[in-house]
Amino acid sequence: MDLNLQGRIAIVGGASMGIGFGIARTLAAEGAKVAMTARREPALRAAADKLRETGLDVLPVQADCRLAEDCKRLVDTVVAEWGGVDILINNDGAPPLGKILMLDDSAWHKAIEQNLMYVVRMVRESAPHMIKRGGGSILNIAAISAIQPNAGFALSVASWGGVIGYAKTLSIELAPSGINVNTICPGYIETSRLEKVFAASGEESGRMRNELILQVPLGRIGNVDDIASLVALLTSPRGSYITGTTIQVDGGLLKHVH
C-alpha cells in the first residue's frame, strides 16, 4: 500500500536507536524527508549514515529537546533546510525507574521536562509550520505504563499521563487546521529500555523475558517495526481521519475495556 508520504517532511525524536530509529527508517523508506534528532551526536550521525547508505533522505540534527532553545533550533534548522514541517514524532526515551517515596523534586522536574515539556515545546515550534502548509500530523510515543501503571514507573506514568491529556486537547484545537494528533503506548518492545527494566528487577533477564512473554496473548515481545508501521499509517494521508486517540501496541497485554 502506498501511504503517500513521498516528499513529506518529518522530525523524529530519539532517532539514534530503538523505536525512534525504526520510525525514521520506515518513514524515509516510504519517501519522506526525515530529520533525525537525538542528544548524543556520535550515535545520531552513525544512525543517519546507516540510513543514507541505503539511499534514504535523512538529516541528523543534534539537540537536547529537554531544552527550549534546542527545540527551537531543531525546527528552525529543518525549516531552513527543507522549507517546512509536515510530521512531528515526539519520542525521547523514558525517565529512570524508582519508588515514588524515593523520588525527590529534582527527579520529578527532570521527568516533566523530558516527557511533557518536550512535547509542548516541539509542538509550539512545529505546529505553526504545519498550519501554513495546510495540515500535518503530530504523534507522541509514550508507553503502556501510562495507561496501565506499574510499581516503580511513577515518573513515566505521571508525565506521560500529562502528555495524553495534552494531546487530546491539542487534537481538538488543531483539527480545524487539518492536523491530527495521536499517542502510541508501546508494550514490551525489544529495546535498550526493556533491558534496563530487566536489570532494575534484579531477576535473571532470560527468566524475566520468558515471564513477560507469557503475559502477552500474542506470545511474543514486540519489535520496533510493530510501532513504526502504525506510525507511518497514522502520519500519512491514509490515517488523517484518526485523531485524539491513545493506542496501545502491546500484543493484547492491556486487559481493560475502554
Query: Measured between alpha carbons, how far is 112 from 119 in angstroms, rounded to an integer?
Result: 10
Q: Is the pLDDT of residue 231 over 70?
A: yes
Query: Measured between alpha carbons, how far is 145 from 155 in angstroms, rounded to an integer?
Result: 10
The tens digit of pLDDT for each residue in 4-15 reads 999 999 999 999
A 10 A CB-CB count for 120 gives: 17
**pLDDT for residue 211:** 87
Give the CA distances from residue 24 to residues 16, 61, 89, 92, in Å, rounded to whole numbers and listed in that order.
9, 13, 9, 13
The tens digit of pLDDT for each residue in 136-185 reads 999 999 999 999 998 999 999 999 999 999 999 999 999 999 999 999 99
Q: Is the pLDDT of residue 73 over 70?
A: yes
**In sequence order, which ranges of 61-204 are alpha helices (DSSP H)?**
68-82, 105-111, 118-132, 154-174, 192-201
The tens digit of pLDDT for each residue in 232-257 reads 999 999 999 999 999 999 999 988 77
Give the SS3 label for residue 16. Answer: coil
**pLDDT for residue 161:** 96
* Rounded to 5°, angle at Cα 59 from 190 and 130: 95
Domains and CATH numbers, the chain: 9-187+223-248 (3.40.50.720), 188-221 (no CATH)
Q: Across residues 195-212, what is the average pLDDT?
A: 72
Type of residue at 249: V
Contacts of 147 (CB under 8 A, 6+ apart): 164, 185, 246, 248, 254
The percent of residues above 90 in pLDDT, for the chain, comes to 85
The mean of the pLDDT values for the chain is 94
Instruction: Say what the pTM is.
Output: 0.94
